[in-house]
């Protein structure tokens, strides 16, 4: 009989390209390591649910309000705290990435400029679903950020 360890977990998502975390200067696992694709997608779904809830209270018949709510939440929360509601619930954090091989810049404020770039590209969808060799979405690459585990 096959055990769970033999099958692995689909929740961890596909493994990034060999050496992806090492190239970014991040640990391979644990605190500060790159977040898996599955965790990032679940966090985004939670953020969408919150945005739809806010939209239902503000303007239930306008189809653009949930996207606007998601964008405002992302810019404000990531820019000021470094995480969205979904990120917080799943133990993730958006961090500024230093020079190649230096890892994340600990304690660096993501800031509203980076969070705005990230959010605009996230709302366009395509940059968020295209990854580089390190497993980061193009929206994170353009903003100079990475989503890590807390």
CA 106 to chain centre: 17
Confidence of residue 101 (pLDDT cuts 50, 70, 90): low
Domain total in the chain? 1
Domain for residue 60, yes or no?
Answer: yes
Count CB neighbours of 21 within 10 A. Answer: 22
Reported as a single tens digit per residue, the pLDDT across 21-80 is 656 777 777 787 888 889 999 999 999 999 999 999 998 888 899 999 999 999 999 999
Domain for residue 16, yes or no?
Answer: no
Domain for residue 17, yes or no?
Answer: no
Domain for residue 35, yes or no?
Answer: yes
Domain that holds residue 63: 24-149
Q: How many CA atoms lie within 13 A of 56 on its CB side?
A: 6
By C-alpha distance, which of 129, 11, 75, 122 is closest to 84? Answer: 75
């Amino acid at each position: 009989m096959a055990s769970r360890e033999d099958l692995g977990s689909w929740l961890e998502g596909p493994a990034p390209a060999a050496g992806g975390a090492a190239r970014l200067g991040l640990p391979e696992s644990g605190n500060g390591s790159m977040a898996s694709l599955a965790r990032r997608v679940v966090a985004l779904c939670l953020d969408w649910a919150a945005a739809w809830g806010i939209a239902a209270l503000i303007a239930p018949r306008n189809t653009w309000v949930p996207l606007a709510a998601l964008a405002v939440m992302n810019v404000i929360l990531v820019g000021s705290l470094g995480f969205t509601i979904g990120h917080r619930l799943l133990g993730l954090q958006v961090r500024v990435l230093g020079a190649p091989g230096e890892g994340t810049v600990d304690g660096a404020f993501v800031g509203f400029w980076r969070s705005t770039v990230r959010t605009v590209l996230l709302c366009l969808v395509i940059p968020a679903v295209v990854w580089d060799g390190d497993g980061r979405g193009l929206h994170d690459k353009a903003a100079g950020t990475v989503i890590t585990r807390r």
